[in-house]
Amino acid sequence: MQYELDQPLLDHRDQPITETVNGEVVTITLGVALERAAMFGGAGTDDAAKKFAQYQLAKLCSSGKTVVLNAEEVSALKALAAVVYSAVGYGAIVEALENPL
One-letter identity of residue 77: L
What are 34-61's pLDDT values in tens digits? 999 999 998 777 889 999 999 999 999 9
- 73-85, pLDDT tens digit by residue? 999 999 999 999 9
Q: What is the pTM of this model?
A: 0.92
Report d(CA 40, CA 33) in Å as an integer.
Answer: 10
Q: Are 60 and 80 in contact (CB under 8 A)?
A: no
Give the integer Cα–Cα distance in Å for 53 and 51: 5
Instruction: Identify the helix (H) or strand (E) that includes residue 82.
Output: helix 71-84
Q: Which structural domain range is residue 89 located in?
A: 2-97
